[in-house]
């Protein structure tokens, strides 16, 4: 159930890539702390379904179809959020298209797909949100990186490029926008996303071994492990943290 007078009461959050997986988990966690949540993703049916889940919890939710790789659609999503709720306090940039290729096999198209949906989409949303975050007297931006990039995991060449670009952008924005009371941090999640679920179904023994090898012995939950950490970043719990990368990887 949504917390009455939760830590984010009166706050408005926009979450990209919120139609499934980690984005959905983040949206649920924010809603349960009384935030109004704009659920944004490319697929209309997916965002409407998640928004309905939030509404059942008693939260105010707005579904918005948005391809983050298109600046005009991102601008429109932010404008709709402010039109509906009157403000914007939290931006969570989770959307990211990806693929797996060895570096030697990476093509221009592979890079373009990851780049457009990741760094460019994140930049568009941050730029669109800035005046509204300033008007609100500050706020929190949470961008998503990946341990596949920081650890240099083989097979993730284009994806790693995109994710490290997001981290660089976040550090610069944290320094430039701190004067406005805007905090910018990055989360590296290890959670049961749709792709992880597919892998678990197709390779159950490998997945079980991978999870067992983590110090905490399990893959993270999108809402309980990732979403609640985003809540802490969005609330006052970590009000002095900015420009940092938080590894939510179970110790891996």
Catalytic residue annotation: 159
Q: Which two tokens stand for residue 18?
A: 């919120």
219, β-bridge pairs = none
Q: DSSP secondary-structure letter at 221? A: P
C-alpha–C-alpha distance, residues 58 and 60, integer Å: 7
Q: Which of 226, 135, 122 is nearest to 171 (CA)?
A: 122
Backbone phi and psi for residue 238, each to the nearest 5 degrees, phi listed first: -120, 50
Region at 37 (left for phi over 0; alpha for psi -120 to 50; beta for the rest): beta
Say whether 36 sits in a helix, a strand or coil.
Answer: strand
């Amino acid at each position: 159930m949504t917390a009455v007078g939760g830590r984010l009461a009166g706050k408005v959050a926009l979450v990209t890539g919120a139609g499934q997986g980690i984005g959905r988990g983040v949206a649920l966690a924010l809603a349960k702390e009384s935030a109004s949540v704009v659920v944004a993703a490319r697929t209309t049916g997916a965002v409407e379904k998640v928004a309905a889940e939030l509404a059942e919890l008693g939260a105010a939710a707005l579904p918005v179809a948005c391809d983050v790789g298109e600046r005009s659609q991102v601008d429109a999503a932010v404008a709709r959020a402010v039109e509906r709720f009157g403000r914007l306090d939290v931006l969570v940039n989770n959307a990211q298209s990806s693929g797996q290729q060895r570096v030697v096999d990476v093509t221009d198209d592979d890079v373009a797909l990851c780049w457009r949906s990741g760094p460019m989409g994140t930049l568009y949303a941050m730029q669109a949100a800035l005046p509204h975050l300033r008007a609100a007297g500050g706020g929190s931006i949470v961008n998503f990186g990946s341990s596949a990039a920081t650890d240099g995991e083989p097979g993730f060449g284009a994806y790693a490029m995109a994710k490290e670009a997001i981290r660089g952008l976040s550090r610069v924005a944290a320094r430039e926008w701190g004067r406005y009371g805007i905090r910018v941090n990055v989360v590296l999640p290890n959670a049961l996303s749709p792709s992880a679920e597919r892998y678990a179904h197709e390779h159950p023994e490998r997945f079980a071994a991978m999870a067992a090898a983590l110090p905490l012995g399990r893959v993270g939950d999108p809402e309980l492990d990732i979403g609640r950490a985003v809540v802490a970043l969005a609330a006052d719990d970590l009000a002095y943290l900015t420009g940092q990368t938080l590894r939510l990887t179970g110790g891996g």
